[in-house]
Chains A and B, each alone.
Chain A
Amino acid sequence: MPPHLCQLCHTSRAQILRPKNHARLCAPCFISTFEIEIASTITTSHLFHPGERIAIGASGGKDSTVLASVLQTLNERHGWGLDLVLLSIDEGITGYRDHSLEAVKRNSAELGLPLSIVSYEELYGWSMDQVVAQVGRGGKGNCTYCGVFRRQALDRGAAGLGVRHVVTGHNADDVAETVVMNLLRGDLPRLGRGTSVVTSMPSAVGMGTGKEWEGKGRVGEVACTSVKRSKPLMWAYEKEIVLYAHHKKLDYFSTECIYSPEAFRGSARTLIKNLERIRPESIMDVVRSGIDMAKLVPNAEGGPGSGKPEAVQRDAGEDAEGGCGGSNGEDAGGEMAQMERKLQQDEQAEEDGTETEIKIPTKAVNGQRHDRDTQTSATAAALTSNVNGQDHDRHTHPPSNTTTTVPIRTKQEKKSNRKATRDTPPPKQRLGQCERCGYLSSQAVCKACMLLEGLNKARPRTGIEVGGAGG
C-alpha cells in the first residue's frame, strides 16, 4: 500500500490516523488541528475573558501538561492576555505525587509559568499516605478522603492565588467514563452536571468567621469566592493528547495513583476502551449522549433532591471531578459490592413494604467541636483579618453550560435542615459556610472537616502537635 499523504497539506506523509474522524494527518498538521480544536472549544463556550487570571490544575500527567502547553501557545498566538499560573495539589503520596510534582516543576520552568503547590499535609495536617495508614486501603475508601480534600484544596489554592477560574485536564475519555459511571451508579445529579464544560459553585460571603479550625486555612488565607472550573480538553481524545505530548516532546509523568481506583470508574473505563476499539467515534457519541441526557435530568436546574446523602456530598458545588477518578469513590471492588448490597436492601424493603430509614452518613454533624488547644487561634485570627478586598460577586459565566446553583442550595438547605433535626440537635447552621473552616457548605460542617474530625479522633494527641508545628 502506498503511504498515505496528509489530508490537509497533501505533501507530507500521514503519520496519524485520528480516531475522531479517521482523518490521516502529518504530525505538524495534527498539532495545529489539535490546537485549533481546543481554541474553538474555548471560544465557542466563552471560557475566558481577556486578561483573566487562570490557574491550570497541574498534576504532571499528560492531560494537564498538554493543557498547560496548549493554553500557553494559544494565549500567545491569539493575544488573549490570560494570566496563566500552575496550581498543583500535593496529596502526599510517596512514589507517585512526589515524582509527578518534579515533572510539574520542570514544566513550570520550561513554560515560564509560576507554580503554586498546595499540600494536604499543610492544609489538613494529613498526607494521603498518613490517611491510608490510618484508615487502611480497604477501609472507608481512601479515594473519598482524597476527592473531598482535593476539591477544597483546589479552591483554596485558587483563592490564595487570587484566581477564580481553575482549568483542569479532563479529556473526552474521562467525560465519557463519567457518563457511563453515573449511569451505572444511578447518579442522576452528576449525570446532569458531568458533561458541562464549565461548572461553578455559588459564591460565599468570605470566610473570616473566627472559627477556623486546625491547620485548615493556612493556604486559603483569602476569602473563598466563586471558583469556576472548566475542562477545555473535554472534546479531545486521550489518544490524541498522548500523541500531542509525544510530538511536542512534552515532559510528563505517566503513572497511575498507587492507591486503589474506584470500581465504578474502573469498570466504566474498561468499557469505554473496548467501545473505542469497536467504533472510535463512540467516545464522542457517549459525550454527546451525556450532554443530551443532562437536559432530561429532572429539575436539572434545581437538583433532583432525592433526599439521599447526595445533598451532603454536593455541598460546595461539587463538580463531577474525574482526575484520578476519585471524586467520591469507595475502595476498589468494595464500591460496587457495597452499592449492590444497598440496592438489595432497598428492593427488599420495597417488597416487604417496610419503610427504609434514611441513614444520614453525617452523624458527625452535631455542631460539637472537639476543641483542641492548638496554636491555630493565631492562624484563625490571621484569617479573619485577612479577608481581603476581593469582590464576592458571582462570576458571570456563559449562559449555556453553566450549572447555576443558587436555587439548588436553598433546596438542599431545607433538606439538610430537616434531616439534621431528625437525628441530631439542631446545629447552628450558617447559610453556605462551614462553621469550622468557612469553606462553602450546605451543612453546618463541611465534608472535609467531618472527615478530618474522624481522622483526628483516632490520632494520638502528640500527633496533632507534631503535625501542627510542622505545618
Chain B
Amino acid sequence: MPGRRQPPAAVDTTLCRRCQANAPTITVRTEPLCSACFAKYVSTKIIKRMESFRVRHAEAGKERLLLLPLSLGPCSMVLLHILSQHLSVQAEKSGRTGYRLLALFIDDGAREGSAALFERVKERYPMHTYFNLPLSDALSLEGVPELLSPLNQATPPNNPPSTTTDPLSTLLSTLPSATSRADLLHILLRKLVVHAAQHHACEAVLWADSTTRLAERTLAETAKGRGFTLPSSIGDGEAPHGLPFYYPMRDLLRKEIISFTSLVEPGLDEMILRDVPKAAVSTKNTTIDDLMKQYFASVEREFPSIVANVVRTTGKLKVPALREEVEEHCELCDAPLRGHAPERSRLCYGCIRILRQAPAG
C-alpha cells in the first residue's frame, strides 16, 4: 500500500517527529514529540480504549453509567481529565454523551489533605457525580465480618494494644507481614468499589492502572501464588467480581502519565495526592508490591517496551471460563476456587497466605 507509506522526505530530527513544526519537549518511546503531539498521544491511547462507550453505543437519554474510582494519584487524575475532555467532545459533536462517570474516592484515612483535594477535583470537573466512602466500610460488607472475625479475636503479636479505635488498623495489626496488610487492603478496596458500583447500578468499573502498574501486578500476583487469576484480573471485560472491569490507561507507561500531568493547563500537579516517598525501609516493611514497583521503575527507564510486553503476554493467556457451572469462589477475593485451593477451603491459596503467613524471623 504505497499510499500509506511515509513520504521519503527527510525527517528533521530537531523538530517534533509527528508535526515537524514545533521543537520537541519529550521523547516518547524513541520519538521526540512536542507538547501538543504528546498530549494528543496520551489522549488517543486512552480514548481508543473507550471505543465501546461511544455515543452510538448508547441510546439517547440512556447514557451508560461507569464507576471511576479515584485514588487522586497521577494516573486516576489524568484519566479523569482525559475522560472529561472526551465527554465534552462527545457532547459537542452529538449533543449527548455515550456514558456518565460516577467518581468515587475511598479514604483510607492514611493520607492527609485528601478531603480538601477531593473538593478541588469536584470543582474543576463539575460534570460528574462524586461521592466518597471510608475504606473501613468494607469491613461491614456482606460476608466480610465472618471471614475476618478470627483475626479480630487474635491479639496482635508483639504490638501493644492499638491506641486508635479504628477497627481497620486493629485488624491490620494482626496480620503477619507488610505484604499481607497491603494485600488485604487492596482486596477490601476492590470489594468496596464493586459494592458501590453495583449499589449505584453502574455498568462497569474503569481502573486507572497504567501499563507499568499492570506489569507490576502481573509479577506481584505471580509471586503471591495468584497466577491463575491474572488473565481475568488484569484483562479488560468480564471480571470474577460481578461486573466488568476496564483499564483504559493500559497502553501508557507511568512515566508518560506523570509527564502529562505537568503539560495540562492549568497544571494537574496541585490536584494530585503524592505518595509520601518511603525512606529506605527495612526488608521487613517492604511489600512484594513495593519490590515490583521498584523493579519496573528501572525496567521502564531502559526497556519500556518490555514492560508493555509483560502485560500483553498475560493478556494472551486464556481466561478460565466463568460460571460455566455453579462453582465456588474464594470468599475473600472472588477468584474461582476450582483446583486452586485446599480441599474444603472457602479461601483461595493466595488469601490463605495473607492470613496465615508465619511470622518471619
Contact = CB atoms under 8 A, between A and B. Distances in A.
A343 interface: yes
B224 A271 contact: no
Contacts of A271: 219, 291, 295
A188 interface: yes
B226 A289 contact: yes
Q: Interface of chain A, helix or strand or loop or mixed?
A: helix
A298 interface: yes
Nearest to B312: A186
Contacts of A282: 223-225, 288
A191 B231 CA distance: 14
Contacts of B4: 352-354
A185 B313 CA distance: 9
Nearest to A306: B316
A293 interface: yes
Contacts of A274: 291, 295
Interface in A344-363: 344, 347, 352-354
Given A277-B283, A344-B305, A183 B288 contact: no
A289 B218 CA distance: 11
Interface residues of B, number: 51
A285 B225 contact: yes
B317 A296 contact: yes
Q: Interface of chain B, helix or strand or loop or mixed?
A: helix
Contact of A280 (B312, B318, B360): B360
Interface stretch (A57-65, A99-107, A227-235, A333-341): A333-341
B316 A339 contact: no
Nearest to A341: B305
A68 B309 CA distance: 39
Interface in B276-318: 283, 286-288, 291, 295, 299, 302-306, 308-310, 312-314, 316-318
B291 A289 contact: no
Given A278-B283, A352-B6, A343 B320 contact: no
Contact of A186 (B224, B295, B310, B349): B310
Interface in B175-215: 177, 179
Interface string A173-186: 00000011001111
B358 interface: yes
Contacts of B177: 279
A178 to B, nearest CB: 12
A336 B306 contact: yes
A183 B314 contact: yes
Contacts of B357: 279, 281
Interface in B91-143: none
Interface string B202-245: 00000000000000001101111111101100000000000000
A321 to B, nearest CB: 20
Nearest to B230: A293
Interface string A45-81: 0000000000000000000000000000000000000
A298 B306 contact: no
A180 B295 CA distance: 12
Contact of A180 (B219, B288, B312, B320): B219
Given A298-B316, A354-B5, A275 B308 contact: no
Contacts of B81: none
Interface string B4-36: 111000000000000000000000011000000
A183 B219 contact: yes
Contacts of B1: 353
Contacts of A411: none
A64 B292 CA distance: 31
B353 interface: yes
Which of A188, A284, A343 neighbours the largest number of chain B CB atoms within 10 Å of its CB?
A: A343
B131 to A, nearest CB: 36
Contacts of B312: 186
Given A186-B313, A188-B313, A278-B287, A289 B228 contact: yes
Contacts of B349: 285, 288
A217 to B, nearest CB: 38
B116 to A, nearest CB: 35
Interface string B26-68: 0001100000000000000000000000000000000000000
A462 interface: no
A140 to B, nearest CB: 20
B320 A296 contact: yes
A453 interface: no
A432 interface: no
B283 to A, nearest CB: 5
Given A267-B299, A336-B303, A347-B308, 14 more contacts: A179-B222, A183-B218, A271-B295, A275-B288, A278-B291, A285-B223, A285-B353, A289-B221, A289-B222, A289-B225, A293-B317, A296-B320, A339-B305, A354-B5
13 contacts: A22-B359, A183-B314, A184-B310, A188-B316, A271-B219, A274-B291, A278-B288, A288-B225, A336-B303, A336-B306, A340-B306, A344-B30, A353-B4
7 pairs of A and B residues whose beta carbons are closest in the complex: A289-B227, A285-B225, A343-B305, A292-B228, A186-B313, A296-B317, A22-B358
